[in-house]
């Protein structure tokens, strides 16, 4: 691994936000691809944080400072991950479902979709089904995108899909789901229209769904 990526990885692991910004900039300065910086310097570091948490080697406060360092680095990387031409390809309402506070992956999906030309309405974290329904009625999105990182909050995805169906919104709006514990078979089970394992696949999924719709 490039030395600068190793330093970036370590800075996120240590939750050092200033060093994270410094190494993201250093990696950009030597023309490393933004996707490489993101995947190998940053996402891999968050995976390592998760593994350490599982092993009892780090705790929630450490996860939080690592997450903050990651978010700061992502802000710096954002303009480099996004394309410049901004034709509107459609509207996406996105949020992390009720009970779940994880937003780094959701933000990444939102950022990549925005870069692809979609208008993003980001409802944040811990979003109840009723809120998704309320906003979907108001803005009439092409896609509602649900993120969950906890096995215990995956059922909130079903609750949200059921609420959108009950409100009569599923003919006009498709739902995609994703997040570390989410599987394709779960997506089928709860009748989501699509599922993606990462942010770039989420973009491909949305492009594909909307191409088939028109
Ligand atoms: Co939490 N946490 N956490 N945590 N946390 C996990 C998820 C965990 C796997 C850690 C572990 O045990 N190894 C574990 C969940 C176990 C489980 O249910 N299977 C866990 C736990 C247990 C908890 C708490 C319960 C801990 C506690 O309090 N005892 C608690 C719950 C709080 C709550 O939500 N109610 C908690 C809290 C937190 C923090 C707040 C401290 C912090 C989040 C801060 C934040 O997000 N602002 C945090 C963090 C940072 C993590 C880990 C370490 C990193 C998550 C992350 O940001 N990854 C995580 C361990 C891990 O994931 N390995 C862990 C980087 C990010 C880029 O990846 O989010 O997976 P990810 O997103 C990916 C894909 O999943 C996908 O695309 C992204 C990449 O391209 N994707 C989608 C995501 N959403 C998508 C939507 C799509 C499509 C793709 O379409 C709509």
Residue 212, pLDDT above cutoff 90: no
pLDDT tens for each residue of 7-42: 999 999 999 999 999 999 999 999 999 999 998 999
Residue 97, pLDDT above cutoff 80: yes
Grade residue 109 by pLDDT with cuts at 50, 70 and 90: very high
DSSP string, the chain: --HHHHHHHHHHHTT-HHHHHHHHHHHHHTT--HHHIIIIIIIHHHHHHHHHHHTTSS-HHHHHHHHHHHHHHHHHHHHHHS-S-----EEEEEEEBTT----HHHHHHHHHHHHTTEEEEE--SSB-HHHHHHHHHHH--SEEEEE--SGGGHHHHHHHHHHHHHTT-TTT-EEEEESTT--HHHHHHTT-SEEESSHHHHHHHHHHHHHHH-
- The residue that leads in pLDDT, 111 or 100, is 100
Of 69, 71, 105, best ligand 1 pocket probe by most atoms within 8 Å of the beta carbon: 105
Nearest-CA residue for atom 60 of ligand 1:
50
pTM (two decimals): 0.93
Q: What is the pLDDT of residue 170?
A: 95
Q: What is the pLDDT of residue 87?
A: 65
CA of 98 to the centre of ligand 1 (A): 14
pLDDT tens for each residue of 156-211: 999 999 999 999 999 999 999 999 999 999 999 999 999 999 998 999 999 999 99
CA of 30 to the centre of ligand 1 (A): 30
Nearest-CA residue for atom 29 of ligand 1:
60
Average model confidence (pLDDT) across the chain: 93
Looking at the chain, the whole-number percentage of residues with pLDDT higher than 90 is 85
pLDDT tens for each residue of 116-149: 889 999 999 999 999 999 999 999 999 999 999 9
Nearest-CA residue for atom 45 of ligand 1:
102
CA of 46 to the centre of ligand 1 (A): 9
Nearest-CA residue for atom 79 of ligand 1:
198
Pick the atom of ligand 1 nearest to 148's CA: 84
CA of 162 to the centre of ligand 1 (A): 24
Residue 112, pLDDT above cutoff 90: no
Of 63, 97, 148, best ligand 1 pocket probe by most atoms within 8 Å of the beta carbon: 63
pLDDT tens for each residue of 39-88: 899 999 999 999 999 999 999 999 999 999 999 999 999 899 876 565 67
Structural domains of the chain, with CATH: 2-83 (1.10.1240.10), 91-213 (3.40.50.280)
Residue 113, ligand 1, Cβ within 6 A: no
């Amino acid at each position: 691994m490039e030395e600068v990526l190793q330093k970036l990885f370590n800075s996120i692991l240590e939750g050092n936000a200033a060093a994270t910004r410094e190494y993201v900039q250093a990696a950009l300065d030597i023309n490393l691809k933004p996707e490489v910086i993101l995947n190998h310097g940053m996402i891999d570091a968050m995976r390592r944080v998760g593994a350490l948490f599982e092993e009892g080697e780090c705790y929630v406060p450490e996860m939080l400072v690592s997450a903050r360092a990651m978010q700061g680095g992502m802000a710096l990387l954002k303009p480099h991950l996004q394309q410049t031409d901004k034709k509107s390809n459609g509207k996406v309402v996105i949020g992390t479902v009720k009970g779940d506070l994880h937003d780094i992956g959701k933000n990444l999906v939102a950022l990549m979709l925005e870069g692809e030309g979609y208008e993003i309405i980001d409802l944040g974290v811990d979003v109840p089904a009723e809120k998704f329904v309320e906003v979907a009625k108001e803005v009439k999105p092409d896609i509602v995108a649900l993120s969950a990182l906890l096995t215990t909050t995956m059922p909130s995805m079903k609750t949200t899909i059921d609420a959108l169906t009950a409100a009569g919104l599923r003919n006009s709006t498709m739902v995609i789901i994703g997040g570390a514990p989410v599987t394709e078979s779960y997506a089928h089970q709860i009748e989501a229209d699509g599922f993606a394992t990462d942010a770039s696949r989420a973009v491909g999924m949305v492009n594909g769904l909307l191409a088939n719709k028109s």
